């Protein structure tokens, strides 16, 4: 898929700154393998908050455990390991719910000394109780990543950590070392198993902590999405289109853990699937910049702009390690940005929203233009793809590329189109093309299927107003 080229100038880049117990199931911390350093930066079994933010700490002092035998939840009795049972009891919140922080404390405690049959069996029981009748209430996100860590997941096969070559990791077992447990915690709860940035081009890059906000004051917008040096226009055009038609869907797919990490939800074969990412993103080593001043290699935006699009792109690269997920151009299940280069918007929308899409090929664009436009006006996501030619059809419409549809004029059967390259390029990114010319260029459109709910009945007022303001300027330009 087409992607823009980063500027070669080296103008200055972004200013980025970069308890002991007597339970026999726990070994002395002195016996912890030094191999832990290979997978995890932690040496004390307590995972902190985001790297570079030492003032925040997840490990809050445990409250004294009162004798509440008459009121303690019955499910605690099913947790046979005393230390894990105590950590779960300490971590329970309102309505006996176990949240992200509470579960992270439980896992950190269980990691000390590595696994034993008692600890492993109790953790298996714990996840079996999550959201079960008379069990432990938790979010779908925490339940998913806990199951993946404890019960196993195909993505556990390898640890990538941003490197070109992954190393073996494997599922948790009763004989897992502390290093192994810490690696799985880092992968599922702290997002440090970064996607590889190798094989994505000649740009030299490294991960660097970003300090921008997750969201800004305005709702998530397609203007927040700016494609970088990766052929994932099919995915970025899709999240941009979702942000246009239903910004609440973007907000709902991201869980802020308030420790520099974020859970991101996708749908794989119709089932919710979550990964965790941190705020480290690949940045160009020589600080070359896009037109918006960003030195991020892939999805990017000007300093101070929201990071949601960059984090969702990173999460999608991590999701690619799941064998059942939709893979990019090379078709392989690997935790790498390379894995999401090349694809089609309909499968991207399915993994973002769990919606199916209908494809309208070039021979149907003219006859079905009104139908497509009506679907867009009713709130459906509509994306455009060009043919597989490497040439530009004209000065705006490039071959082998995906675009967002952001408007439709029924009087002229014209579509307003936005290029997901966005502010990364100084060129005009929004333009108008007739259905006839799109058909002549061999383009196709993908239209999502609406949910039967009021929130998808009409475009959002803010979106409608934003588009109206842009259309006046666009109509002044030459039509294609």
Residues 460, 247 contacting (CB under 8 angstroms)? yes
Say if 23 falls within a structural domain.
no
pLDDT at 177: 98
145-155: pLDDT as tens digits: 999 999 999 99
Residue 324 belongs to some domain of the structure:
no
Position 332 scores a pLDDT of 85
Residues of the chain with pLDDT under 50: 7-41, 43-45, 48-69, 452-480
Does residue 137 lie within any of the structural domains? yes
**Is 352 in contact with 364 (CB distance < 8 Å)?**
no
Q: Is residue 65 part of a domain?
A: yes
How many domains is the chain partitioned into structurally? 2
**pLDDT score, position 1:** 57
User: What is the pLDDT, as a whole number, of residue 389?
Assistant: 66
Tell me phi and psi for residue 404, to 5 degrees: -95, 140
What residues have CB less than 8 Å from 196, skipping those under 6 apart?
160, 162, 163, 164, 166, 334, 335, 336, 337, 338
Say what the pLDDT of residue 368 is: 97
In a domain, 313, yes or no: no
26-57 tens-digit pLDDT:
333 333 332 333 444 454 445 644 333 333 33
Which of 155, 190, 225 terminates a domain? The answer is: 190
CATH code for the domain of 403: 3.90.70.10
- The verdict on residue 240 lying in a domain is no
Domain around 415: 356-476
Q: Is position 328 within any domain? A: no
Distance CA 462, CA 149 (A): 40
Last residue of a domain, one of 173, 190, 207: 190
Q: Among 190, 220, 241, where does a domain finish?
A: 190
Nearest to 420 by CA among 221, 270, 285: 221
In a domain, 74, yes or no: yes
Contact 87, 96 (CB under 8 A): no
Cβ atoms within 10 Å of 105's Cβ, excluding its own: 21
pLDDT on residue 230: 94
Give the mean pLDDT of the chain. 83
Model confidence, pTM: 0.83
What is the Cα–Cα distance from 367 to 256, expressed in whole angstroms? 45
């Amino acid at each position: 898929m087409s992607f823009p080229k980063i500027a070669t100038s080296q103008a200055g880049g972004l200013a980025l700154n970069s308890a002991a117990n007597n339970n026999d199931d726990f070994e002395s911390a002195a016996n912890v393998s030094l191999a832990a350093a290979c997978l995890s930066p932690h040496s004390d079994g307590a995972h902190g908050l985001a790297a570079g933010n030492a003032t925040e700490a997840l490990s809050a002092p445990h409250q004294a455990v009162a004798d509440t035998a008459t009121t303690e939840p019955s499910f605690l009795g099913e947790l046979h390991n005393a230390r894990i049972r105590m950590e779960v009891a300490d971590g329970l919140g309102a309505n006996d719910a176990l949240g992200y922080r509470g579960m992270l404390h439980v896992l950190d405690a269980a990691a000390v000394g590595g696994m034993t049959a008692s600890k492993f069996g109790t953790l298996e029981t714990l996840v079996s109780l999550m959201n079960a009748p008379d069990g432990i209430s938790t979010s779908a996100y925490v339940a998913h990543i806990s199951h993946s860590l404890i019960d196993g997941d195909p993505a556990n096969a390898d640890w990538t950590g941003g490197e070109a070559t992954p190393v073996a990791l494997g599922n948790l077992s009763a004989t897992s070392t502390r290093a192994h447990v810490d690696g799985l915690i880092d992968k599922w709860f702290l997002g440090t198993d970064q996607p590889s940035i190798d094989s994505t081009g000649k740009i030299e890059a490294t991960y660097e902590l970003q300090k921008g906000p997750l969201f800004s004051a305005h709702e998530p917008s397609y203007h927040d999405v700016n494609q970088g040096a990766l052929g994932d226009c099919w995915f970025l055009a899709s999240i941009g289109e979702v942000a246009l038609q239903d910004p609440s869907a973007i907000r709902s797919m991201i869980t802020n853990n308030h420790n520099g990490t974020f859970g991101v939800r996708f749908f794989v074969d119709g089932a919710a699937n979550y990964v965790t990412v941190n705020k480290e993103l690949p940045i160009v080593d020589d600080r070359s910049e896009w037109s918006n001043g960003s030195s991020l290699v892939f999805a990017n935006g000007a300093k101070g702009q929201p990071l949601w699009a960059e984090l969702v792109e990173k999460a999608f690269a991590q999701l690619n390690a799941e064998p059942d997920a939709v893979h990019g151009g090379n078709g392989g299940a690997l935790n790498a940005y390379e894995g999401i280069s090349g694809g089609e918007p309909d499968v991207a929308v399915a993994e973002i929203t769990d919606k199916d899409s209908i494809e309208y090929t070039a021979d149907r664009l003219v006859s079905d233009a009104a139908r497509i436009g009506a679907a867009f006006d009713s709130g459906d996501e509509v994306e455009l793809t060009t043919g597989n030619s490497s040439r530009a059809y004209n000065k705006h419409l490039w071959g082998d590329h995906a675009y967002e549809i952001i408007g439709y004029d029924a009087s002229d059967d014209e579509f307003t189109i936005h290029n997901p390259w966005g502010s990364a390029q100084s060129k005009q990114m929004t333009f108008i093309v007739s259905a006839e010319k799109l058909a002549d260029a061999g383009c196709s459109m993908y239209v999502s299927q609406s949910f039967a709910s009021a929130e998808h009945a009409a475009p959002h007022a803010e979106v409608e107003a934003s588009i109206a303001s842009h259309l006046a300027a666009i109509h002044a330009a030459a039509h294609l």
